[in-house]
Amino acid sequence: MNQIKNNWFTESCEMWPGGTFSIQVKEVLHTEKSQYQDICILDTTNFGKVMVLDGIIQCSEKDEFSYQEMISFLPLCCHKNPEKVLIVGGGDGGVAREVVKHPKVKEVVQVEIDAKVIEVSKKYLPFMAVGFDSPKLTLHVGDGFEFMKNHSQEFDVIITDSSDPVGPAVSLFQENYFALMKSALKPNGIVCSQAGTMWNDITLVSNTLKFCRNQFPRASYAYASVPTYPSGQIGFVIGSLDSDIIFDTPSLVLSAEDLKTMNLRYYNSEIHKAAFVLPTFVRNTLA
């Protein structure tokens, strides 16, 4: 890894020039070049285990729960009866871990393009890969885009947990991807996609939201605080076929006891609502 110097790994990406995050490394546990990307696992001094794909931090043991819980529970708790869920991407297992916690979820199908990511996560990130152990889950290795072409009106919720739109995930940020998800949804279905940060990528956010709005009668942007992502924040585009939906009012309200039982460390029913409240400059840009 030429991004490691004197035991510090430095992230670098053309998408957010001029500012960069570095993380102190105890040990490089694994590196390999898969068919799709460079995969690296770091053991760090203060963020636990960290997965890096193509030089970009995907998750750290310290803060991954924020992202995984929010990308899962925002759409699940908007839906009245999310029985069957499709996860596209999410090869570390973190989203699967969260989705199967929802009491109404009966069946989860996951399509991850890179078998190596799954394998490496199982070996080094068991706190996330535990998601693969659920009897509710069927895991396919393949292209989510191609997979959906053969599945019509099948899912209540589709969650796209992708890397950023450079490399293998670029097709997941296009309008035809939203069209494809729409056709794979049951009536009143909901989609939720990783959609970039408001501070660095407002054009990406705006475009992704526009594509979603073109395909779905209702669409919105929500966000969460994740320190190891650029600008310390990441957002989600969420779209629904139910034109009466009120995104910021969850269908399922979780009690303090529920949160404890389900080990939800970031998500709660109040932060669900707050996640849709945008700073003025974002609200104006996305209006």
Residue ranges in contact with a copy of itself by CB under 8 A = 8, 10, 17-24, 44-47, 62-63, 66, 198-200, 223, 225-233, 259, 264-268, 270-271, 273-274, 277-281, 283
Measured from the CB atom, the residue of 57 and 86 that comes closer to a copy of itself is: 57
Calculate the dihedral angle through the C-alpha atoms of 213, 137, 269, 211, rounding to the nearest 10 degrees.
Answer: -10
Task: Determine contact, residues 236/222, Cβ cutoff 8 Å.
Answer: yes
Question: Cβ–Cβ contacts within 10 Å for residue 246, how many?
Answer: 14
Q: Quote the least distance from Cβ 255 to a copy of itself, whole Å.
A: 12
Task: For 91, list phi and psi in degrees, rounded to 5.
Answer: -60, -15
Nearest distance from C-beta of residue 184 to a copy of itself, angstroms: 32
Spatial CA neighbour of 156 closest among 66, 251, 265: 251
CB 87 to a copy of itself: min, Å: 22
**Exposure of 178 by Cβ count < 10 A (0-12 exposed, 13-18 middle, 19+ buried)?**
buried
Sign of the CA dihedral with 176 first, then 179, 185, and 190 last: positive
Strands 218-225, 233-240: pairing is: antiparallel
Q: How far is the CB of 267 from a copy of itself (least distance, A)?
A: 7
Can you say how many angstroms the Cα of residue 269 is from the centroid of all Cα atoms in its chain? 19
Which residue lies nearer to a copy of itself by CB, 27 or 133? Answer: 27
Q: Catalytic: 161?
A: yes
Nearest approach, Cβ of 61 to a copy of itself (angstroms)? Answer: 12
Residue number, 22 or 153, with CB nearest to a copy of itself: 22
> Which entry of 161, 201, 242, 244 is annotated as an active-site residue?
161
Dump the DSSP string for 176-206. Answer: HHHHHHHHHEEEEEEEEEE---TTT-HHHHH
Query: Looking at the annotation, which residues are catalytic?
Result: 161
